[in-house]
């Protein structure tokens, strides 16, 4: 069975302990590879390799760094089929989604930051003939990058690319639930000629590898994407060490549908925003609020569309909902469906696990589920489920729906459907979330900063902000 390896100092090596644990294919519920069970000894080796590489990488001209990172992007494109297949097998997501979203975006992340550094600039402020103030930005040193399982290569590269482009060396940890594409990326980095030690990828669990990264005294900057509870733990460790922190955390996003929406578009896109990637996207609209005058007709159309989604083998081209990423997560989602019923919810469609046939019989599948009849403040409507489960309820006024939408501890994303221009902007400005989509979902220019409000995160990723995040800023004033 294939054993993954850590990528340290430019080489693929086994974990120091020699220990491994199982990697599951969620479509079959079977072990298909072995993951290094790394620990602080491996992180220490990676830090040493990164320290050795930093003096040269940090002064490598931007044009040279750019060439190497563009080469990595090219190699991702050249290996799209293999990477998409690996990601689908590792994660359970439809292969088609991995091919059109995850892997192209991973290459785009590298290309965006590789070319971004060629055009980035810093400010200068002239005080007439008295003085000039100018800003210098230097790479910080070793960046720790920790990512989750839902969009494995996409989110991993979104951290690594700006960190490397800014001239830092990186010690990175992909999720132990979906490590395969990060492993394949390490092979591509070797092919691309990335100098040894510039990027180090350590596989293993959060408590062993993740915490060794966040608590390491020589890693002064941490970029983390994952659950709010883990973010809390990382802050507890890293904040007293005065590390620079970026935290991208959970969401419980409202999807608000006004009566004057483009009905067909709102139904179609809401199916995507609810159930893409099995609902395992932090930006999914999992709480739907529909204006009462169209509530019944919208629910009818939405339920009918959702019933048509094919749940099945992630590798089949017509599959729209694949397998849930792990047994533990599958059980968590099912427990929330039970909770919703206990809280008085009525299941309009789905609501159960699915037992598929043949090789898929051991896989973890759940029907796309729509639940109505719940109060806005019950646990089902307040806690992140992160699966193919949405709630739906009517509202009568803007004020009322804003109260529902803003009632959770999260503030990641919101969606509004209306053709009333004034209302769209008015409601968008009052929603407590880092991103608001009006009449669309998941559309984003990479130059736009990204991040959440409230307990959905601290700091912003994306755009040139990410290049700034991975640098330390010095402001110099020179008297003329």
Catalytic amino acids? Answer: 248, 282
For ligand NAD, which residue of 176, 291, 372, 465 counts as binding (CB under 6 A)? 176
Q: How far is CA 10 from the centre of its chain?
A: 26
Nearer to ligand NAD, 225 or 380 (CB): 225
Nearer to ligand NAD, 164 or 281 (CB): 281
Asked if residues 286 and 389 have their Cβ atoms less than 8 Å apart, the reply is: yes
- As measured in angstroms, the least distance from the Cβ of 224 to ligand NAD is 7
State the first-to-last Cα distance of the chain, in angstroms, to the nearest integer.
68
Per-residue x/- track, 396-415, ligand NAD (CB under 6 A):
----------------x---
For ligand NAD, which residue of 452, 459, 462, 463 counts as binding (CB under 6 A)? 452
CA–CA separation, 124 and 135 (whole Å): 6
CA–CA separation, 364 and 389 (whole Å): 15
CA–CA separation, 468 and 163 (whole Å): 9
- As measured in angstroms, the least distance from the Cβ of 173 to ligand NAD is 5
CA–CA separation, 426 and 417 (whole Å): 13
Counting every residue written for the chain, the total comes to 480
Nearer to ligand NAD, 66 or 178 (CB): 178
- As measured in angstroms, the least distance from the Cβ of 355 to ligand NAD is 25
CA–CA separation, 385 and 253 (whole Å): 11
Residue 336 in contact with ligand NAD, rule: CB under 6 A: no
What is each CA distance from 293 to 53, 258, 289, 397, in whole angstroms? 63, 9, 12, 11
133 φ/ψ angles, rounded to the nearest 5 degrees: -105, 135
User: Based on the number of CB atoms within 10 Å of its own CB, is 233 exposed (0-12), middle (13-18) or buried (19 or more)?
Assistant: middle
DSSP of 345-356: -EEEE--SEE--
Q: How far is CA 168 from the centre of its chain?
A: 21
Per-residue x/- track, 117-146, ligand NAD (CB under 6 A):
-----------------------------x
Asked if residues 414 and 251 have their Cβ atoms less than 8 Å apart, the reply is: no
Nearer to ligand NAD, 246 or 369 (CB): 246
DSSP of 428-475: HHHS-SSEEEES-SS---TTS-B--EETTEES-BSHHHHHHHTEEEEE
Helix, strand, coil percentages in the chain from 3-state DSSP, rounded to 5: 45, 25, 35
Nearer to ligand NAD, 234 or 466 (CB): 234
- As measured in angstroms, the least distance from the Cβ of 427 to ligand NAD is 22
For ligand NAD, which residue of 93, 173, 243, 460 counts as binding (CB under 6 A)? 173
- Of 53-61, 114-122, 170-178, 390-398, the segment contacting ligand NAD by CB under 6 A is 170-178
416 φ/ψ angles, rounded to the nearest 5 degrees: -125, 135
For ligand NAD, which residue of 88, 109, 150, 418 counts as binding (CB under 6 A)? 150
Nearer to ligand NAD, 152 or 312 (CB): 152
Asked if residues 31 and 24 have their Cβ atoms less than 8 Å apart, the reply is: yes
Please give the residues from 375 up to 394 whose contact with ligand NAD meets the rule CB under 6 A.
Answer: 384, 386
Residue 211 in contact with ligand NAD, rule: CB under 6 A: yes
- As measured in angstroms, the least distance from the Cβ of 296 to ligand NAD is 31
- As measured in angstroms, the least distance from the Cβ of 15 to ligand NAD is 15
Nearer to ligand NAD, 225 or 471 (CB): 225
Residue 175 in contact with ligand NAD, rule: CB under 6 A: yes
For ligand NAD, which residue of 56, 100, 136, 207 counts as binding (CB under 6 A)? 207
Per-residue x/- track, 64-83, ligand NAD (CB under 6 A):
--------------------
Q: Which residues are paired to 173 by β-bridges?
A: 146
CA–CA separation, 159 and 147 (whole Å): 8
Mode of pairing for the β-strands spanning 199-201 and 169-173: parallel
Per-residue x/- track, 240-279, ligand NAD (CB under 6 A):
--------xxxx----------------------------
Per-residue x/- track, 282-301, ligand NAD (CB under 6 A):
x-------------------
For ligand NAD, which residue of 220, 457, 459, 463 counts as binding (CB under 6 A)? 457
Please give the residues from 217 up to 236 whose contact with ligand NAD meets the rule CB under 6 A.
Answer: 225-227, 230, 233-234
Query: Residue 310 has what DSSP assignment?
Result: P
Q: Which residues bind ligand NAD (CB under 6 A)?
A: 146-150, 155, 173, 175-176, 205-207, 210-211, 214, 225-227, 230, 233-234, 248-251, 282, 384, 386, 412, 452, 456-457
């Amino acid at each position: 069975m294939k054993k993954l390896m850590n990528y340290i100092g430019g080489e693929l090596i086994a974990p120091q302990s020699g220990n491994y644990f199982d990697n599951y294919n969620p479509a079959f519920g079977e072990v298909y590879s072995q993951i290094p069970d790394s620990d602080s000894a491996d992180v220490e080796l990676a830090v040493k390799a990164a320290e050795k590489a930093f003096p040269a990488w940090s002064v490598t001209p931007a044009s040279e760094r750019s060439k190497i990172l563009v080469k990595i992007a090219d190699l991702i494109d050249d290996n799209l089929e293999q990477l998409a297949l690996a990601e689908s097998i590792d994660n359970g997501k439809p292969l088609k989604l991995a091919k059109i979203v995850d892997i192209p975006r991973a290459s785009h992340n590298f290309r965006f930051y590789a070319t971004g550094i060629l055009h980035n600039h810093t400010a200068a402020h002239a005080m007439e003939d008295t003085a000039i103030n100018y800003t210098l930005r230097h790479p910080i040193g070793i960046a720790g990058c920790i990512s989750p399982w839902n969009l494995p290569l996409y989110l991993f590269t979104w951290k690594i690319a700006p960190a490397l482009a800014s001239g830092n060396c990186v010690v990175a940890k992909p999720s132990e639930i979906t490590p395969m594409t990060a492993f394949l990326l390490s092979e591509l980095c070797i092919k691309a000629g990335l100098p040894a030690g510039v990027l180090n990828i350590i596989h293993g669990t959060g408590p062993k590898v993740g915490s060794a990264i966040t608590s390491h005294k020589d890693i002064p900057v941490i970029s983390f994407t994952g659950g709010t509870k883990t973010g809390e733990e990382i802050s507890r460790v890293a904040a007293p060490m005065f590390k620079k922190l970026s935290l991208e955390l959970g969401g419980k996003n409202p999807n608000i549908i006004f009566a004057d929406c483009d009905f067909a578009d709102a139904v179609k896109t809401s199916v995507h925003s609810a159930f893409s990637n099995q609902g395992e996207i932090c930006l999914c609209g999992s709480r739907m609020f529909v204006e009462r005058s169209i509530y019944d007709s919208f629910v009818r159309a939405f339920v009918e569309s959702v019933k048509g989604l094919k749940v099945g083998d992630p590798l089949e081209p017509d599959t729209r909902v694949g397998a849930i990423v792990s047994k533990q997560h599958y059980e968590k989602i099912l427990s929330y469906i039970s909770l919703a019923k206990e809280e008085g919810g009525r299941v309009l469609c789905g609501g159960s696990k699915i037992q598929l046939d043949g090789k898929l019989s051991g896989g973890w599948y759940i029907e796309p589920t729509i639940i109505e009849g719940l109060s806005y403040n019950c646990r089902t409507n307040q806690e992140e489920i992160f699966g193919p489960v949405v709630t739906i309820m009517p509202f009568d006024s803007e004020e009322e729906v804003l109260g529902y939408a803003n009632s959770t501890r999260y503030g990641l994303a919101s969606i509004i459907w209306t053709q009333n221009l004034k209302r769209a902007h008015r409601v968008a400005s009052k929603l407590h979330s880092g991103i608001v989509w009006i009449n669309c979902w998941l559309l984003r220019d990479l130059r736009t900063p990204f991040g959440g409000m409230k307990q959905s995160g601290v700091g912003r990723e994306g755009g040139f902000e990410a290049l700034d995040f991975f640098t330390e800023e010095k402001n110099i004033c020179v008297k003329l």
